[in-house]
Amino acid sequence: MSTAVFQPGQMIFREGDTTQEAYRILKGRVEISIAGEGKSVILAQLGEGDIFGEMAMVDMDQLEDRLKRMSEKDRKYLEYLLDQHAVLIKSKGSHT
């Protein structure tokens, strides 16, 4: 595990980027946002102890190929887990 320091306002990664890293916030805050209709839409504000970037580690093309090969039961379970992840992010953002 390595440590990185980011400056206020510095972009860590962009929507659609893939990475082999997830990040845990040791100090400070991170804002998760997406581009929407000419402006940035904030999805969540994270703080110390929070983890982000794990979904950028998922290669969506490979995931789609795997989903096609999965049984219906397994596919529905994975879709449920991904939906729950999105709900957790939205829920986390609404508490700050």
In a domain, 83, yes or no: yes
For residues 59 and 30, which has the higher predicted lDDT (pLDDT)?
Answer: 30
In degrees to the nearest 10, what's the CA dihedral of 96, 29, 46, 4? 180
In a domain, 7, yes or no: no
In a domain, 88, yes or no: yes
The answer to whether 18 and 56 have CB atoms below 8 angstroms apart is yes
26-48: average pLDDT: 88
Q: Mean of the per-residue pLDDT values for the chain?
A: 76
User: In the prediction, which pLDDT does 30 show?
Assistant: 93
In a domain, 27, yes or no: yes
User: In the prediction, which pLDDT does 63 show?
Assistant: 62
Boundaries of domain holding 31 = 23-94
